[in-house]
Amino acid sequence: MKRFLTAILLSLAFSAAAAAQEADSLKLSAVDSLLVGKDILNIIGPGISISQSPSVRTALKSYVSGNALKSISGYRIRVFFDNSQNARTKSESIERYISNTYGGIRVYRTYDSPNYKVCVGDFRTKDEALGLYNSLKATYPAALIIKESINYPR
């Protein structure tokens, strides 16, 4: 009986610790998403001053701009995948339509012999991709979210 109670208490303790850790990770991801594309030195606010040499600010800007050239693991929405004779013209028209309709979203049209592909967006998480996916699904019923190497989000 003592072993049974000990096992139950241990499992409750582990589940509480896991729930707390998950809550912390959710808080971190929410904060991280809010700060994407912002310069921390401009966020600090009034009343606080930072004294640093100009070379530090230059090094930080260089590091941030270097990250833009890197690719990371993320998600894109594939709206077109075909190898028919008119696949090239279809992919071009889909690329133009999405670029005109969704102005700020990057569109990638690739040719991977023998298939033409059109993918949309650079999303770090699947949840970020779901919003656009739901609106694209009406126009492109074959659309799907795929895991791919993406460009660093701006």
What is the topology classification, in CATH, of domain 72-151? Answer: Alpha-Beta Plaits (3.30.70)
Q: Specify the pTM.
A: 0.59
Percent of the chain with pLDDT over 90: 41
Using one digit for the tens of pLDDT, what is the confidence trace for 97-113?
999 988 888 999 999 88
Torsion of Cα atoms, 137 then 132 then 72 then 152, to 10°: 140
Cα–Cα distance, 117 to 73 (Å, whole number): 19
Q: For the residues 3-18, what does the mean pLDDT come to? A: 66
Cα–Cα distance, 121 to 113 (Å, whole number): 22
Look up residue 26 and give its two tokens: 């959710």
Using one digit for the tens of pLDDT, what is the confidence trace for 11-52?
766 666 555 555 554 444 444 556 666 666 666 767 777 777
